[in-house]
Structure 1
Amino acid sequence: MNIEHLRMYCLQKPGVEESFPFDESTLVFKVGGKIFLLLSLTSNPIQFNVKCDPEKAIELREAYDCVLPGYHMSKKHWNTIIHNGSVNDTYIKEWIDHSYDLVFSGLSKKIKEQLIP
């Protein structure tokens, strides 16, 4: 999965917006105004941060060398994924989905209804 595929995967989710709120090299994806993925456009290999359930975050870090505590984020709730080819795209998509679902589930009922009529 390259940057453009990752970007398109995120954007196909309901209510997702992309922006550059921090700098021109960090692409941020939000749902309901809340961040669920930060993507570095300058890293090689591709690196991105995703939100994660704290227990699952620890399990993933122990199981996969490409999963690290979230860079510049809460280490308890965020993982940095280094997409170096050591895991297949199915896992990458699962981790993105998990992040999106966590953030979406925390939104108010009113915002959820606005995003998904």
Structure 2
Amino acid sequence: MDVSVIDKQLLAHPGATKALHEKWGWMVYWVGGRQFACEFTTSPDAKPPYTGRHLLSLKCAPDRIRELVAEFPDGILPGYYSDERTWISVDLNADLPEELVLDLCDMSYELVFAKLPKRVQREIIGTE
């Protein structure tokens, strides 16, 4: 999948920013000081099934994680290097529907935004 399309979708949300995590070489997306996505390629030494994959890690509802991993076992994995109960990793080289991946980007943002303090939420959407 085209990373520029994903980047545009992630940054379209209010208050969304991105920054390179230089130590890891990952592009990390933030809202209100909290991570809601990251895009990276794992090393050839990474533990299978993550080995050498180009991944997008996203926050996800736990029930949805089970469904997605069952439905797309080669394209959606439990979150790499994160809490597998609340994060997924999408293989950007897998044959996944673009609409699904973009919807998952939106869900990730919404889940993280909803957990921000109300004051921060108001600042981000400009109602304060």
TM-score between the two structures when normalised by the length of structure 1 = 0.90
1:61-72 pair list within 5 angstroms: 61-65=69-73, 66-72=75-81
1:46 corresponds to: 54
The answer to whether residue 121 in structure 2 is matched with residue 95 in structure 1 is no
Query: Structure 1 residues 87-96 or 19-28, which shifts more?
Result: 19-28
Q: Secondary structure at the match of 2:36?
A: strand
Answer yes or no: is 1:79 the counterpart of 2:88.
yes
Q: Counterpart of 1:51 in structure 2: which amino acid? A: K
Mapped to 1, the partners of 2:22 and 2:64 lie a distance apart of 27
Residues 1:58 and 2:58 are matched in the alignment:
no
Aligned-residue Cα RMSD (Å) equals: 1.9
Runs of 5+ unmatched residues, structure 1: none
Query: Larger radius of gyration, structure 1 or 2?
Result: 2
* 1:3-50 CA distance string (max 9 Å, x none): 222112111111001112353620000111111101016787631100
1:39, 1:49 within 8 Å by CA — same for their partners in 2?
yes
Q: Distance in 1 between matches of 2:77 and 2:10?
A: 21
Separation of aligned partners in 1, 2:120 and 2:35: 15
Between the aligned partners of 1:75 and 1:45, the Cα distance in structure 2 is 17
Instruction: State the secondary structure of the residue aligned to 1:20.
Output: strand
Q: Percent identity?
A: 26
Between stretches 13-22 and 29-38, larger displacement belongs to 13-22
2: CA distance, partners of 1:25 / 1:111: 28
